[in-house]
Amino acid sequence: MNSRQLGLWGEAQVARYLRRRGYALLAKGYACRFGEIDLIAKKGETICFVEVKLRSNLSFGLPREAVTAAKQARLRKTALWYLSAHELDCPTRFDVAEVYSDSKHTEVRIEYLENAF
């Protein structure tokens, strides 16, 4: 798999994880001029903007460390655009889903960080 395919695979793993926990998926790969949000989900009245990070080893650090201040700023702008475009006024949060997998992608573990930033 190339890196784009791996990213989509990781997002699919997290989407399934969220559905099993009672979240409704509103969007996958939402993009606008400000950036892209991997998954947008709703739990109760709260809209969750989810950044997915996949790793097969920790040689580049923890996945959450890749969500830099600049990335967080882009995610916030993109989320505001989404809320405005859909005329939503509700609680929101930004989550990070860390997907850990072996090199063959046969074993998966997800660490889900609510209110990551």
- CATH number for 8: 3.40.1350.10
pLDDT score, position 5: 84
Predicted confidence (pLDDT) per residue in 8-30, tens digit: 999 999 999 999 999 999 999 99
d(CA 45, CA 110): 24
pLDDT score, position 105: 73
d(CA 63, CA 67): 8
Which residues lie across from 65 on neighbouring strands? Answer: none
- Please count the other Cβ atoms lying within 10 Å of the Cβ belonging to residue 60: 9
d(CA 31, CA 70): 17
Give yes or no for residue 104 having a pLDDT over 90.
no
Q: Is the CB of residue 102 less than 8 Å from the CB of residue 56?
A: yes
Whether this prediction's pTM lies above 0.95 is answered by no
For strands 92-101 and 46-55, give the pairing.
Answer: parallel
Predicted confidence (pLDDT) per residue in 33-69, tens digit: 999 999 999 999 999 999 999 987 777 788 899 999 9
**Does 83 or 9 have the greater pLDDT score?**
83
Which of 68, 89, 67 has the alpha carbon at shortest distance from 80? Answer: 89
Residue-range definition of the domain harbouring residue 80: 3-113
pLDDT score, position 101: 87
- The single residue listed with the structure tokens 């784009």 is 4
Provide the domain count of the chain. Answer: 1
